[in-house]
Structure 1
């Protein structure tokens, strides 16, 4: 088994979900755990592979504005976005600064990217007199000058939580499953990343092919194994918690419990394969993915993970189909 008995469920390698969870703590939905956020946003089920060398950037190379706003929608929020690209006009800069400051003034941190390292983080304060933002990401907590925030990046990327809406747990789960299955089947909108990264179940074939060519970057390979392995442990835990929380008082609840239990077993097998991969290729050292015996063993483990996750996706697809059909029936009658 992957070692979930000692796992700290308050920490994840997926910085997008960590940032969303951090922002949620300042809203009326602060009851959502990181496990809930990883599952409902679909980040526990993501795989985003650079097919050429399994580059370290893979896990964060997705259309962030689209995806993070859809994540927040699943959680029951209306959000605002800036993804302004260079060159920045003074008017655009002013609007982005106002977006951040208004969110902080409402008491909710703004979600941003590449504050200190190329990962997602939070801007939680500002000082106009000193021209500083107060920010935090997975690497550190500190300050970013207004000038640095504008001039040292190619995109002013900020998402802010604007308004909270009530969602039933049924609608929340249906939206989550929709997102999970879209990603797994490669239907997720990729925007500028189209053709550069391989998403979902097809990501396994891209990873395996790179291993077979002996061209995997040791650092990137280890990072992807760490991020995706951690995510699959969260996926299995999210599904196990659904089994416990849904009380079985109606046909939807009983179906969710049954199928979540089935899917959890598949994702646990995926997590176990990744636990072994992470042992072979520890981050940041990286191991030797170019060494034939190591590469062949890695391919076997990736095939085990791929087969288990494919079975898991099939179960979640059936559950999504059931929930959609049930809802259609309710609307008709």
Structure 2
């Protein structure tokens, strides 16, 4: 059997072009499901609009060092139902079992018209599996760095990937999430859960070997204050762009649900990150004055997110 969905990144809000690949893939999958009204909210209600991880050397891999198997409960906080199949390092004995289970889930999801969210699609980032062909044992995928077949078209070039290499590519970890339905969670319950997820992450409650949550701010600020080489690197642009784009989803969600104080705080946070990103991409970050401005903007965002945590905790939800 063969089936291929017509899926595009178009319409997924990405203020910097660096939106975290899992969040972008998740939003796109939901947008192409039977519940597109959740496509923007889910980035916040799964907690990803609030998540930050920063390594001392600004390695982009810092954005993929967290508990992948928490994807299901985090996304289900947002009112959706999911299936998840994963395998970590040093679990070779279950590699085939988990890969075959993931393949079944992917095909079932595509048969329902929804792309599957998978790790290491094209590059070691999240992307989408958009089709399959049993005759040649091949998936059709939409990597996060996919290019358009024609600049005037909304269609992207698809990349083929053999069934057998799922979870065994450059970074041999299996992580496949599929959207299967909608739960009966109320908007109030979703909001309550979102605030709990946000506070837990921002206060360091989620596993990660690198600086995380609010502690990511001093780690990133230190780079701009003390390391001109790292500050001027593409890696610094990646981190500013990745987290800056996520902040927009936080403020828009709070605005949508009527949490005006939090919406205003996160709009200020978003604007600070965006200004820092703009400076980094347009000016020479080896210059002390440029780095000082970026650090100052990040400090402003840091103080605002600290205040946001206090507000969320005060709600006693």
Pick the TM interval, shorter chain. Answer: 0.7 to 0.9
Q: Is the helix fraction higher in 1 or 2?
A: 1
CA distance in 2, matches of 1:268, 1:108: 31
Residue 289 of structure 1 and its aligned partner are, at CA, apart by: 3.8
Match of 2:309 among 287, 293, 313: 313
1:56-80 CA-to-partner distances (Å, cap 9, x unmatched) read 23333322221x2123211223432
The 1:23–1:233 alpha-carbon spacing in structure 2 relative to 1, beyond 3 Å, is closer
> Do the aligned partners of 1:40 and 1:75 also contact (CA within 8 Å) in 2?
yes
Residue 9 of structure 1 and its aligned partner are, at CA, apart by: 7.2
CA distance in 2, matches of 1:274, 1:89: 40
> Do the aligned partners of 1:263 and 1:313 also contact (CA within 8 Å) in 2?
no
CA distance in 2, matches of 1:299, 1:46: 19
CA distance in 1, matches of 2:84, 2:39: 24
Report the counterpart of residue 75 of structure 1 in structure 2.
78
The 1:82–1:219 alpha-carbon spacing in structure 2 relative to 1, beyond 3 Å, is same
Report the counterpart of residue 273 of structure 1 in structure 2.
272
CA distance in 2, matches of 1:296, 1:150: 42
Residue 98 of structure 1 and its aligned partner are, at CA, apart by: 2.1
SS of 1:157 mapped into structure 2: strand
Report the counterpart of residue 51 of structure 2 in structure 1.
46
Match of 1:105 among 83, 101, 111: 111
Match of 1:240 among 236, 255, 259: 255
> Do the aligned partners of 1:267 and 1:309 also contact (CA within 8 Å) in 2?
yes
CA distance in 2, matches of 1:281, 1:59: 20
> Do the aligned partners of 1:65 and 1:159 also contact (CA within 8 Å) in 2?
no
1:162-205 CA-to-partner distances (Å, cap 9, x unmatched) read 443211111111111111111111112x1xx33xx111111111
Residue 108 of structure 1 and its aligned partner are, at CA, apart by: 2.8
Higher Cα Rg, which structure: 1
Match of 1:220 among 235, 238, 242: 235
The 1:31–1:163 alpha-carbon spacing in structure 2 relative to 1, beyond 3 Å, is closer
SS of 1:38 mapped into structure 2: helix
Equivalent positions of 1:17-166 (< 5 A) are 17-34=23-40, 36-50=41-55, 52-66=56-70, 68-85=71-88, 87=92, 89-140=95-146, 141-149=158-166, 151-153=168-170, 154-166=172-184
The 1:239–1:92 alpha-carbon spacing in structure 2 relative to 1, beyond 3 Å, is closer
> Do the aligned partners of 1:135 and 1:142 also contact (CA within 8 Å) in 2?
yes
> Do the aligned partners of 2:140 and 2:161 also contact (CA within 8 Å) in 1?
yes
The 1:312–1:151 alpha-carbon spacing in structure 2 relative to 1, beyond 3 Å, is closer
Match of 1:176 among 183, 191, 194: 194
1:104-128 CA-to-partner distances (Å, cap 9, x unmatched) read 2343322101111222222122111
Q: Which runs of 5+ in 2 are unaligned?
A: 1-9, 147-157
1:94-146 CA-to-partner distances (Å, cap 9, x unmatched) read 23322322332343322101111222222122111011111213222332122
Report the counterpart of residue 200 of structure 1 in structure 2.
213
> Do the aligned partners of 1:56 and 1:219 also contact (CA within 8 Å) in 2?
no
Report the counterpart of residue 152 of structure 2 in structure 1.
none
Matched, 1:298 2:294: yes
Residue 82 of structure 1 and its aligned partner are, at CA, apart by: 2.0
Task: Give TM-score, length-normalised by structure 1.
Answer: 0.78
> Do the aligned partners of 1:264 and 1:312 also contact (CA within 8 Å) in 2?
no
Q: Which runs of 5+ in 1 are unaligned?
A: 1-7, 244-259, 325-333
The alignment of Structure 1 onto Structure 2 pairs a total of residues equal to 287
Task: Give TM-score, length-normalised by structure 2.
Answer: 0.82
